[in-house]
Amino acid sequence: MISTSAWAGFSTWFDRSATSATSSISYFHDIDLADQETGIRLSDWSLGYDRYTVLTTDSFTGDSVTQQTTTLSGGLGFALSPQTRWGWSIDSAQTPEEKLSTFGVSTDLRHRFATRTTLGGRVGFATTTQTIPRSRLLANTSADNRIQQRLVGASVSQGLWNWLRLSVSGTVYGYNRDLTEFMSSINSNFLRSLALGGLANSVSSFQRSDASLGALFFILETWGLDLKSTFSTLALDNSLSVSHKVFITKEFPGYGTVGVGQKQTLYGDTTTNFTLFSLDIELN
Q: Which amino acid is at 103?
A: F
Whether residue 35 lies inside any domain: the answer is no
DSSP conformational letter for 82: T
- pLDDT score, position 167: 96
Residue 164 forms part of a structural domain: yes
More confident residue, 85 or 207: 85
pLDDT digits (tens, 9 = 90+) for 73-106: 999 999 988 889 999 999 998 887 777 788 899 9
pLDDT-derived band at 133, boundaries 50, 70, 90? low
In which domain, by residue range, is 66 found?
14-22+54-71+88-282
> How much is the average pLDDT of 137-143?
50
Rounded-to-integer distance, Cα 254 and Cα 94, Å: 36
Q: Is residue 114 part of a domain?
A: yes
In a domain? residue 248:
yes
Q: Is residue 199 part of a domain?
A: yes
Question: What is the CATH classification number for the domain harbouring 156?
Answer: 2.40.160
pTM passes above 0.75:
yes
The residues, any chain, with a CB within 8 Å of residue 139's CB and separated by 6 or more, are: none
The answer to whether the CB of 148 falls within 8 A of the CB of 157 is no
Phi, psi of 155 (to 5 degrees): -145, 155
**Has residue 184 been placed in a domain?**
yes
**192 pLDDT higher than 50:** no
Tell me how far apart the alpha carbons of residues 276 and 261 are, in angstroms, rounded to a whole number: 5
Q: Looking at the 3D structure of the chain, how many domains does it have?
A: 1
3-state class of 2 per DSSP? coil
Q: Is 81 part of a structural domain of the chain?
A: no
Question: Does residue 95 contact residue 103 with C-beta atoms inside 8 Å?
Answer: no
Give the pLDDT of residue 69.
84
